[in-house]
Structure 1
Amino acid sequence: MNRNRWIALLIVSIPVLFLLGHPWVARGDEVADRFRELDANQDGFLDNDELKKNVFIRSLLRGSDFNQDGKISLDEVRTHLRTRQRNAAKAKSDAAPESAAPSPIWEAARAVPPAAAGIGRMLPDVALADIAGKSVRLHDSLGQAGLVIAFTNTSCPICKKYGPTWQTLEPKLRDAGYAVVYVNPTMNETPEAMAAFRKQHALQGAYLHDAKSELAKQLAASTTAEVFLFDAKRTLVYRGAVDDQYGLGYARNEAKQNYLLEAIADLKKNRPLELAATTAPGCDLDTAGPLPRATNVTYHNRISRIMQTHCIECHHTGGVGPFRLDRYEDVVSHAGMIRKVLKNGTMPPWFATALPDDEPHRWANDRSVPDADREDLLNWLASNRPQGNPADAPAPKSFDTGWMIGKPDAVYQFAKPVAVQANGFMPYQNVVVDTNLTEDRWVKAVEVRPSAREVVHHVLVFVITPGKRLDADERSGYFAIYVPGQSRLSYPDGQAKKIPKGARLLFQMHYTPNGTATEDRTEIGLIFADKTPEYEVMVAGVSNTGIRIPPNAGNHPEIASRDFPMNATITGFLPHMHLRGKAFRYEIIPPGKSPQTVLDIPRYDFNWQLYYRLASPMAVSIGTTVKATGWFDNSAKNPANPDPGKTVFWGPQTVDEMMLGYVEFLVPVDTTDAAKLKPSDADADAGVLFKRVDANQDGSINREEFDSFVRQLPKFKDNPEAMAKLFQRLDTNQDQKISPAELAKVRQ
């Protein structure tokens, strides 16, 4: 940076630094307090007469009268100060190129959707020549537990680095019952070079040369360092990187995550894999691309595997699905319904807009069905539905009733069971459980387990800190979730959620009666971290409690936004609306830049409260805005609409509505509490409420607007005398309208 630019930056920075140190920008309540001090006539606005006594404040707020009405509201002050903060942050980033983002040439393993990676497919029946020219058939190469196929070569730098790793890993894999086969897909490598590499690292497994890329094409292998793990029934259960020690542009002294060994540990404990597919940094292969289409499709060699990958997680005995789909006769019996939901895209539940083919997978937990699986299943259903050879069937899936996270350090269960009715509609049930924690704890894994899973639609668990009201403030962010396919949350080393001393857990339960009355005693298990983590996992709600959805509106939009007051890393999203919710969109707006759509859900479905987990966490800087837009269908064309003729506001039950987008993110543990995202402060809530009641948006609430809103409250519904008394109490100057200043006085 040249000398003149440094001087210019200093000139800009002096007032900005002074601004950032001013108490007005420290906290929202201090802004409101200072505003009230300056608002001499308490009319809810600052005019020139009120500002002329304070030259600094008048200069500070220059340009904040956005609507040019000659006076400044509290909302305009807040917006103006946020803009100044963003500009200050941008100036700081412009002056500090050393804090720029990491080089794009760095490439580490990242999660990819298992279905898109071919998880669940059958091992191809391929024979390749080893170094000595002997033919080796893969179907004959399995160990007692399965087979590990490790792609490698002698020229790729990543493969060379992993030579010693395989020397250490191979005995561990053999002891676990897995045979290891090394496959070299590089056409021009010589037998001598391959033999020397094998000898150098004392590799015992067969070393095969896939000179024509026959196996690489069958598996759609992406790099020379990719590993494929098959179980004893020749089913692909993991593919991707061995671990995270080496990547393009970096190397670590030791791995932080051992993907292959962790997958084997999950299989041994008979639990779903925490991570079933990743990318594998290495030298790219020409064979990467769409998975090849299967031939001679039968139930046992292909369809049963598709059902295991996409369906039976819910559709098994005791699952939330209404019928089983884990046997041939089940699939044939429900062929018509399977065909329908595949064609209309309602099953499996996944509603994020598909990305262009040239974009990498964005969602680690993408449940959408790949085209190859969809076409094979539909074609098989349209045929004579051959069963095939039972020997080609995958191992049956078992749904262990034990804890998938391992033995918890603490378990909290409902004190009494909740009665679930046989049919009809049940409002949310809120159940509070004491933790009796005597100190703050960091939680690295959490799992929610309903006892009657067949009637539990979803669960949100909130932490109630000591002294707080015992009701769920959804805006504050959930602690744990349960939806079909997502009952546990585990975090890598160095990341954890905090649960404070004396906290209570509030379970918000959504039950769906299925024709049989039952009882449920949901429980939650926690595994504590051994030490304070480097990063805290947090969840914040981007909410608009002032939504006002007109009667009969078929496509009504509402918007909410929040700014990050610190640097953070976003890891996932969970949108939440009720029965009138129609579509939802998240946008990220970095300071001074255009909005970027990160999640678009054109068909929102209240029946599925889905969490969308990013494959690559997204770093955001201070001042970045998260904007959420929801669209609502309050018309008679919406069959789930309780009352199309009603104006709908924010409320806790499904007959009300919510405009709420959860964001999960990481912040360093040493980040001050004041900088972390919190629910809206009381002043902001009061402002939202005022706008909600002020139907004509003229800056005051008249008697008609007041009565229209207040009569929705049970206490005032049939009590006009009580409504009149309340209005008179709020209307302190008796001018038959309530101003923001009058409302503020009552609150004080």
Structure 2
Amino acid sequence: MRSVLLTTAAAAVVAAAFAASAISAPAPAPTAAAIPERASNFQLTDTTRLAHELHYFKAAPAIVLVSQVNGGKASREAVAQLSKLQAKYKDQGVLFYAINSKDSRDAAAAEAKAQKFAFPVLLDELQLVGEQLGVQREGEVFVVAPKSGFKVAYHGTVAETAKAIDAVLTGAPVANPRVEVKAGNVIAFPERARKAEHSQISYSTEIAPIIQEKCVACHQEGGIAPFAMDSYDIVKSMAPMIKESIMAERMPPYFADPHIGTFQSDMALTFEQNKKLIHWIEAGAPRGAGGDTLALNKSKAPEWPVALGKPDLVVTLPADVPASGTVAYQNMQVTNPFQGDTWLKAIAVKPGERTVLHHVTSNHTPDRGAPPPKLPGGSVGSYTPGAEPQVIATGAGAPVPAGGKLSFSMHYTTTGKAATDQTQIGYYTLKAAPEFIKRSTVISDFALKIPKGEARHKEIAYLEFPADAYIYTLYPHAHYRGWSVELKQKTPDGKESMLISLPKYDFNWQRDYDPIEPILIKAGTKLIATWIYDNSTDNKANPDPSIDVTWGEQSWQEMMYFRVNYRWADETVSNIRNDLQGKLMESRMIGALDTNADGKVQIDEFTGTM
């Protein structure tokens, strides 16, 4: 390859000539794309990091989508006109969204702010949604009728949108359901021209390895998934469901925003894996040549995690769960089975009956009257649906003081069928004391109150760290109304940075998020948790949208809870700093009330049940 070096002046001339030719040249013709009869389900994240799933809004009378690009005249004019329609149809429940299949999140956010967009801009980073809808230009409008099976009742210019909405609202056919859009910049969708290549994607060498890496841990014989992905025939038969689950971002069950933080055991599909799977399925999921990699590597779920092996000690917690009614927390204790002070390197909880076990929490309880233990006590294992084994960071350990009891709080929910649970907790111990002590704390707001019917209620709480610390684990928890959650740090100089964001929280898949490298938190830093709750009728998991919801232990109540595992920077096994733990807890009350995190509680911040 020849390299050509241009002087600054020459480069400017070339750039100017190119720009002039680009202005005078006609806009390229878009690649032909058919408008679908119905809008397939998808989930996209908006510029504020909130997720939106199309088919979540089954009860909406109409949903209006518009293709948008930054700086485009057609986009800005369309959004401005649709903003007026949004105000007109707001009381009738019509939803409006822009879909950006071209620009970055930050750039789209800047455009939305500068132009004062009145409705969310969804980021179609992989272009899969734009491809499926048949988008070709900016400013294309789609009016979707959820109550008619998400039929695309109208596609065309913004000028005819009001008539289309009126028709959908009255149940009448749209007079002109397809109007050609000729204005606006063409949006390039390169994959449309590669359909022949998609039909050549190899199941054996490309698709099966992705499934083996990201799906089989659950989708194997004896795994927690409802079926095993152990052959091409199974994958082929499930292909439509697999596509919908990926497009709706329900699977794989890993929900951390890929733009914020990097975490261990990342189960998410990479962008390239995501596109490859979808395009292969859209090509008909061809078998192609080569062996059936999944069948050749067929496996059974192990009794205990392969990476950890057999535990050093197992505690079994039996319980009978009735068919119906509310079950109070079952508090169980076992005599501490460890001989002397013990350090844990990992804990694996094996639920006996997943259908009824909501969660397990625990702690070490010292014997009454005995001298205070030398080691700080703490959790000895926890479980929520979808949880992975808890592995303590390298160089650290979870302390279990000698003597006392291991106390467990078991939360069960009834299913209409009596069940017997035999949950087991496997402990993996260190053979020698570690250097650092793993500690835990919880950011919460016990005064939360979620108004009845409210779709996006926000709760904020924080803790202020009195000394430098390293974060090991981030773990958010809520019940069925939890919609999204974030954790950010605010340093003493007022600077903020996001540590983790889950644009869509899923109660059925709660897990620890362990940063690749422990995160240093400086003294005086506030860790601020923000939860969004959906107490509306759109939330089909909502136990009762007609009531105000407050803090409570049962699933039909709610929690605002964010656990953080960490170590104090200057604490070691030989230099225990229980004083720092006490100072940390001093910020809990003000952190639950001080919504704007300014270190003061104003009258208007006494909200909820306060």
Pair 518,652 (structure 1): closer, same or farther in 2 beyond 3 Å? closer
1:155-199 C-alpha deviation (Å, 9 max, x unpaired) = xxxxxxxxxxxxxxxxxxxxxxxxxxxxxxxxxxxxxxxxxxxxx
Pair 477,460 (structure 1): closer, same or farther in 2 beyond 3 Å? farther
Pair 384,625 (structure 1): closer, same or farther in 2 beyond 3 Å? closer
Alignment match, 2:581: 676
The code of the aligned residue for 1:390 comes to G
1:68-120 C-alpha deviation (Å, 9 max, x unpaired) = xxxxxxxxxxxxxxxxxxxxxxxxxxxxxxxxxxxxxxxxxxxxxxxxxxxxx
Structure 1 CA distance for aligned equivalents of residues 411 and 484 of structure 2? 23
User: Which of residues 303, 306, 312 is equivalent to 1:401?
Assistant: 303
**Matched-pair contact (CA < 8 Å) for 1:541–1:679:** no
**Matched-pair contact (CA < 8 Å) for 1:577–1:660:** yes
- Residue 613 of structure 1, CA deviation: 1.3
SS in 2 for 1:372: helix
Structure with greater proportional helix content? 1
Structure 2 CA distance for aligned equivalents of residues 350 and 641 of structure 1? 22
Pair 677,639 (structure 1): closer, same or farther in 2 beyond 3 Å? farther
**Does 1:386 pair with 2:286?**
yes
The code of the aligned residue for 2:272 comes to A
User: Which of residues 303, 307, 321 is equivalent to 2:225?
Assistant: 321
Alignment match, 1:15: none
Structure 2 CA distance for aligned equivalents of residues 635 and 392 of structure 1? 45
Structure 1 CA distance for aligned equivalents of residues 588 and 462 of structure 2? 17
**Does 1:615 pair with 2:519?**
no
Structure 1 CA distance for aligned equivalents of residues 414 and 219 of structure 2? 16
Structure 2 CA distance for aligned equivalents of residues 427 and 302 of structure 1? 49
Give the TM-score taking structure 2 as reference length. Answer: 0.57
**Matched-pair contact (CA < 8 Å) for 2:367–2:405:** no
**Matched-pair contact (CA < 8 Å) for 2:478–2:560:** yes
**Does 1:586 pair with 2:484?**
no
Pair 517,443 (structure 1): closer, same or farther in 2 beyond 3 Å? same
**Matched-pair contact (CA < 8 Å) for 2:222–2:301:** no
User: Which of residues 250, 273, 279 is equivalent to 1:346?
Assistant: 250
The code of the aligned residue for 2:206 comes to R
Structure 1 CA distance for aligned equivalents of residues 357 and 198 of structure 2? 35
Give the TM-score taking structure 1 as reference length. Answer: 0.47
Alignment match, 1:365: 265
Structure 1 CA distance for aligned equivalents of residues 588 and 246 of structure 2? 48
The code of the aligned residue for 2:579 comes to A
SS in 2 for 1:365: coil
Structure 1 CA distance for aligned equivalents of residues 394 and 519 of structure 2? 19
1:338-385 C-alpha deviation (Å, 9 max, x unpaired) = 1101111111112222318xxxx6122222211222222222223343
Structure 1 CA distance for aligned equivalents of residues 587 and 489 of structure 2? 26
- Residue 601 of structure 1, CA deviation: 1.8
Pair 444,420 (structure 1): closer, same or farther in 2 beyond 3 Å? farther
Structure 2 CA distance for aligned equivalents of residues 429 and 330 of structure 1? 40
Alignment match, 1:508: 410
1:404-454 C-alpha deviation (Å, 9 max, x unpaired) = 42343322111x344475x999887654444244533211222222244x6
Pair 641,487 (structure 1): closer, same or farther in 2 beyond 3 Å? closer
Structure 1 CA distance for aligned equivalents of residues 432 and 406 of structure 2? 22
Q: How does 1:537-686 map to 2 (within 5 A)?
A: 537-667=438-568, 668-669=571-572, 670-676=575-581, 680=585, 684=589
**Matched-pair contact (CA < 8 Å) for 1:568–1:619:** yes
- Residue 334 of structure 1, CA deviation: 1.5
Pick the structure with greater CA Rg. 1
Pair 465,426 (structure 1): closer, same or farther in 2 beyond 3 Å? closer
**Matched-pair contact (CA < 8 Å) for 1:352–1:599:** yes
SS in 2 for 1:324: coil
- Residue 561 of structure 1, CA deviation: 0.6
Alignment match, 2:366: 466
1:588-646 C-alpha deviation (Å, 9 max, x unpaired) = 11222312111122212222212211112111122211111111222223222222232
Greater CA deviation, 619-628 or 548-557?
A: 548-557
**Matched-pair contact (CA < 8 Å) for 1:566–1:676:** no
Structure 1 CA distance for aligned equivalents of residues 479 and 223 of structure 2? 24
SS in 2 for 1:613: coil
Structure 2 CA distance for aligned equivalents of residues 539 and 294 of structure 1? 48
| Structure 2: 5+ residue stretches without partners | 1-196, 369-376, 594-601
SS in 2 for 1:300: helix
Q: Using the aligned pairs only, state the percent identity.
A: 29
- Residue 403 of structure 1, CA deviation: 5.8
**Matched-pair contact (CA < 8 Å) for 2:349–2:423:** yes
Structure 2 CA distance for aligned equivalents of residues 327 and 353 of structure 1? 31
Pair 425,397 (structure 1): closer, same or farther in 2 beyond 3 Å? farther
Structure 2 CA distance for aligned equivalents of residues 639 and 318 of structure 1? 29
**Does 1:525 pair with 2:416?**
no
Alignment match, 1:377: 277
| Structure 1: 5+ residue stretches without partners | 1-292, 469-475, 689-695, 710-739, 741-748
The code of the aligned residue for 2:561 comes to L
Structure 2 CA distance for aligned equivalents of residues 680 and 392 of structure 1? 52
SS in 2 for 1:612: coil
SS in 1 for 2:361: strand
Structure 1 CA distance for aligned equivalents of residues 277 and 199 of structure 2? 12
**Matched-pair contact (CA < 8 Å) for 1:547–1:649:** yes
Question: RMSD of the TM alignment (CA)?
Answer: 3.7
Alignment match, 1:498: 399
- Residue 301 of structure 1, CA deviation: 2.4
**Matched-pair contact (CA < 8 Å) for 1:420–1:520:** no
Pair 402,436 (structure 1): closer, same or farther in 2 beyond 3 Å? closer
SS in 1 for 2:343: strand
Structure 2 CA distance for aligned equivalents of residues 648 and 351 of structure 1? 25
Alignment match, 2:315: 412
The code of the aligned residue for 1:408 comes to P
Structure 2 CA distance for aligned equivalents of residues 651 and 477 of structure 1? 22
Structure 1 CA distance for aligned equivalents of residues 414 and 583 of structure 2? 32
Structure 2 CA distance for aligned equivalents of residues 403 and 375 of structure 1? 30
**Matched-pair contact (CA < 8 Å) for 1:584–1:630:** yes
**Does 1:305 pair with 2:209?**
yes
1:495-540 C-alpha deviation (Å, 9 max, x unpaired) = 1001123131315356685x98653311112222233321111121
The size of the alignment, in residue pairs, is: 390
Pair 483,366 (structure 1): closer, same or farther in 2 beyond 3 Å? farther
1:99-158 C-alpha deviation (Å, 9 max, x unpaired) = xxxxxxxxxxxxxxxxxxxxxxxxxxxxxxxxxxxxxxxxxxxxxxxxxxxxxxxxxxxx
The code of the aligned residue for 2:243 comes to R
Q: How does 1:28-177 map to 2 (within 5 A)?
A: none
1:288-321 C-alpha deviation (Å, 9 max, x unpaired) = xxxxx99943333232222211222222222221
Pair 392,640 (structure 1): closer, same or farther in 2 beyond 3 Å? closer
**Matched-pair contact (CA < 8 Å) for 2:446–2:560:** yes
**Matched-pair contact (CA < 8 Å) for 1:556–1:632:** yes
